[in-house]
Chain A
Amino acid sequence: MMLLHAAVLLPLLFTIFVPLLYKAFPKLHTGWAVLAVPVVLFVFFVMQIPGQMNGGSAQSAAIPWIPALDISFALVLDGLSLLFALLITGIGALVVLYSISYLSRDKEAIHRFYVYLLLFMGAMLGVVLSDNLIVLYGFWELTSLSSFLLIAFWYKRDRSRYGALKSMLITVAGGFAMLGGFVLLYVMGGTFSIRELVAGLDGFSGDALFVPAMLLVLLGAFTKSAQFPFHIWLPDAMEAPTPVSAYLHSATMVKAGLYLVARMSPVFAGEAVWFWLVSGVGLATLLWGSYCAVRQTDLKAVLAYSTISQLGLIMSLLGIGSAAAHQGMAEDAVAAYAGAIAAALFHLFNHATFKGTLFMVVGIVDHETGTRDLRRLGGLMALMPVTFALALVASFSMAGIPPFNGFLSKEMFFTGALKAAELSLFGVPGWSALFPIIAWAASVFTFIYCMIVVFKTFAGRFKAEALDHKPHEAPLLMLVPPAVLASLVIVVGLFPGLVAGSLIEPALAAVLPAQADAYHVKITMWHGWTTELFMTIGVVAVGIALFLTLRYWQGIYALLPGRLTFNRVYDGLLRVLDRGSLFLTGRYMTGSLRHYLIYIFAFMIGLLGWMMLRLDVLGGGSPVYAELSFYEVVLVAVIVLAALAVPLAASRLTAILLTGAVGYIVSLLFVVLRAPDLALTQLIVETVSVTLFLLCFYHLPKLRKEMAPLPFKLGNALISVGVGLVVTTIALVVSGARKFDSISDFFIAQSYELAGGRNMVNVILVDFRGFDTLLEIMVLGIASLGIYALIKLRLADGEGGERLENK
């Protein structure tokens, strides 16, 4: 079915037309054209619902991409993917509609905005529909990238760039970890396809790499879904335009991590580590996020922490539900834990609806009053009645108050937490008793901040003096998208069966393929006087009491999180990395050539010396040495004396002449060792180089001319002695370890036969190995041109450059 591919690629392809449309129709708000994309996709995915209901089979399509690496552009549409795809396209359509009135065409670069947004939409669809892990990872990083671009949409603000960088660093770090986990899965399972991995699970679930792979994949999911302690990027990402916050940071991107956890559940859920990590981190995020949300004064910050906390809730439910995958549990227990997964999926849907509404409402308030600061807002109820009604519905749903959909999923959450308390599967049963307690405490905080969002903004005294202009109700167009979402909140709350059978159950079947038959999703508003209901009543009672006394106990926030925030850890870590690397680089990159030479030589001594000791080469071999002649002894003695005198010479002139002496004696050595060509060449080249040295010496600057001998440095002496020792040892060892004959016999025998020359050296140079000579004379040519250019081309003083131009 190539339609799936078209669905994923449509938003990506449409990005090409956005700038064209923007230029071609100067009157039209580009958002209207863009709106068609998510609407078409939404209709397409709605039409897929009947096929997925009642145990319908997943649809799949694959296009080979890199077959040699087992990477194919494979897409699968099952219940879970469909649920996410509907959220992405549905809320995407509403967000595009909302942004038409939120972002003005005249003031904002909306063509860029829609390009990024469509890029994100396509990437997100790719994430939820991909079956191939590598393709999933590619889309995953594309969401990080487009989210980075969207957060920094107002790139002239410092805070936007800071937030964008932070989210980029954290999510990409997690993405890399996830890629590592995927590679490990491939190493174990031999395939990148998720479905094939699930099918072949028995073959590798006991592998030593299994748990590391799981931890790495979880790291990716936790960073993306803003789980504790990686949640810190989400509040800073609120610098993005509000439609972006509503879309990415409440409804879609932050749920990519949840999607990954749900998608990989069939692979990993059997492990106890998975259960404890997912549910534990989820609960920690839930509690910390809801606790922190209460103390925020910025509306969007409240919503950011509330998103973190709700994501933690869903994550913990996914963790609790993973218990259903364990072997040897009673039928009803499996059904109960599967209920936790159903609760997670249901709350995921609900959260997307009410959080999207709330973000849009906050955007309206911001748009109409010019501030999001809770201390300046108040009493907007009479001025903005529709907005108030929408905020009320969404907040009460988030707080878990009937008759809204949040109530239902919160009840199911309590059921799951209570069920988890009974769990004695993995030992330490005492710990699992914490589940309902944390869940309840977090719900109280959730209730408090929900009330803050509604009543601090809309109730109380109207502070006209704090606002720049008199606020009024938002335009109709801006109210439509949150109204649609809020009506979903109510409709789903009253008739949960609408989504339970059509969306949640197929998704549940995808998360728990083996246990799907054991559980059928039944969500009812009234389910008797159960423990969960009493817990909810308690949440409301305690929540109201605490909300009314907020100002008396708010002081604990100054004490408890006070300095203990993870932002400080992040900032400190960046600073330490920054300064640490600067310090380290400053220590060894001194800019002094002397130091670099010391590193190079010390490394050479260390490596070669260590290898010689390791390979134990010193003892082996019995070199055969030739007889030393009298001339050789004398010449070598003179060379040694001359060379030793060079560093001790007081004047540079002496050093130059001594170097020349060494060179001439070397040419004499060539004579003694019967190399006439070398001797001739050495003689002339030495003459030339000594002349050039003298030239340099003559032109030394008169200022601070030092005539003293080199100062003695012990380190340098040690290094030079070390290099000499190592090289000498290697030379001795190598000459004693000749493994095969030299090829010189061939040259001796054939130089006249094949090349017609009796001077073997010359024959080798121009005939046997002529290619080397060719390149060597090229080296000479380049050197001469280099010298010519260095001398003639003096752009700095102007004169030389001019002279060259005049020629």
Chain B
Amino acid sequence: MKTNDVILQSAAKLVVFVILTFSAYLFLSGHHEPGGGFIGGLMSAAALVLLALAYDLDTIRSVLPVNYRIVTATGLLLAILTGAGSFLFDRPFLSHAFDYFTLPLLGKTELATAVLFDLGVYLAVVGVTMTIILSIGEDR
């Protein structure tokens, strides 16, 4: 007996994008404002969980055919490679660099390698959270 969750599903369609945007904001502003890869990752996972609640796991999997264990691995690899990249410039492991650039659309912008590392954290957290929730959810 399946109930009709049309309100929940419609709301989720909207809210998911709001949450995803917010998580992107949290992630990108992490260097200067509260936030960062960890919270951003948890937020994104929350959006996906909301989708999973409103629909079901099969829908999620058909909409986002992602293996989250690979996402975790990608995140870890990115973090390690970012750290190892400093070897190319003859610096110790995990030495970050930053500078200011004038980009076409954004104007004067700070680009930092720490963000790449944070992206690794972000991906790892999304992957971990989704792996845990999906494997528990699929049980039974």
> Could you list which residues of chain A lie within 8 angstroms of chain B, going by C-beta atoms?
676-677, 680-681, 684-685, 688, 692, 695, 755-759, 761-763, 765-767, 770-771, 773-774, 777-778, 780-781, 783-785, 787-788, 791-792
How many residues of B are in contact with the other chain, CB < 8 A? 44
Q: Is the CB of B76 closer than 8 A to any CB of chain A? A: yes
User: Which one of A770, A771, A778, A784 has the greatest number of beta carbons of chain B within 10 Å?
Assistant: A784
Residue from the list B26, B43, B76, B136 in contact with A781, Cβ < 8 A: B76
- State whether A777 touches B76 (Cβ < 8 A): yes
B136 touching A780, Cβ below 8 Å: no
A contacts with B: majority SS: helix
Contact B135 A792 (CB under 8 A): yes
Compute how far the CA of A784 lies from the CA of B124 in the bound complex, rounded to whole angstroms.
Answer: 10
CA–CA, A777 and B136, complex, Å: 20
Q: Which residues does chain B contribute within 8 Å of A784, judged by CB atoms? A: 69, 72, 127-129, 131-132
CB distance from B3 to the nearest CB of A (A): 19
Query: Which of B42, B98, B110, B125 is within 8 Å of A777, CB to CB?
Result: B125
Enumerate B95-135 residues with CB–CB distance to A below 8 Å.
Answer: 96, 98, 110, 112, 114, 117-118, 120-121, 124-125, 127-129, 131-132, 135
Query: Which residues of B have CB within 8 Å of A785?
Result: 69, 72, 131
New contact pairs (14) apart from A681-B38, A785-B72, A792-B135, CB-CB < 8 Å: A681-B39, A684-B42, A692-B136, A757-B31, A757-B112, A761-B36, A763-B31, A770-B94, A777-B121, A777-B124, A777-B125, A780-B72, A784-B69, A787-B132
- Chain A residues with Cβ below 8 Å from B127 are 781, 784
The reply to whether the CB of B30 lies closer than 8 angstroms to some CB of chain A is yes
Most buried by A among B31, B42, B80, B138: B31
Q: Considering the complex, give the chain B residue whose CB is closest to the CB of A676.
A: B34
* CA–CA, A787 and B37, complex, Å: 22
The residue from B31, B69, B80, B135 contacting A756, defined by CB atoms under 8 A apart: B31
Query: Is chain B's binding surface mostly helix, strand, loop or mixed?
Result: helix
B17 sits at the interface (CB 8 A): no
Does B139 have its Cβ within 8 Å of any Cβ on chain A?
Answer: yes
Closest to A792 in B: B135
Given contacts A695-B136, A756-B112, A791-B139, contact A771 B94 (CB under 8 A): yes
Closest chain B CB from A770 CB (angstroms): 5
Q: Which of B37, B43, B46 contacts A766 (CB 8 A)?
A: B37
List 7 A-B pairs, Cβ < 8 Å: A680-B39, A767-B96, A767-B114, A780-B124, A780-B125, A787-B135, A792-B135
Considering the chains assembled together, what is the distance between the CA atoms of A770 and B121 in angstroms?
10
Instruction: Judge whether B83 is part of the interface by a CB distance below 8 angstroms.
Output: yes
B85 within 8 A of A: no
> In the bound complex, how far is the Cα of B31 from the Cα of A755, in angstroms?
9
Which A-chain residue is minimally distant from B73 (CB atoms)? A781
CB pair A677–B124 under 8 Å, yes or no, is no
In contact, A762 and B80 (Cβ under 8 angstroms): no
Which residues of chain A are near B135, meaning CB under 8 Å? Answer: 787-788, 791-792
In the complex, A759 Cα to B28 Cα: how many Å?
12
Q: Tell me which residues across on chain A come within 8 A of B96, comparing CB atoms.
A: 755, 766-767, 770
Which residues of A sit under 8 angstroms from B117, Cβ to Cβ?
Answer: 766, 770, 773-774
Q: Please indicate the chain B residues that have their CB under 8 angstroms from the CB of A758 in the complex.
A: 31-33
Kindly list chain B residues whose C-beta atoms are within 8 Å of the C-beta of A680. Answer: 26, 34-35, 39
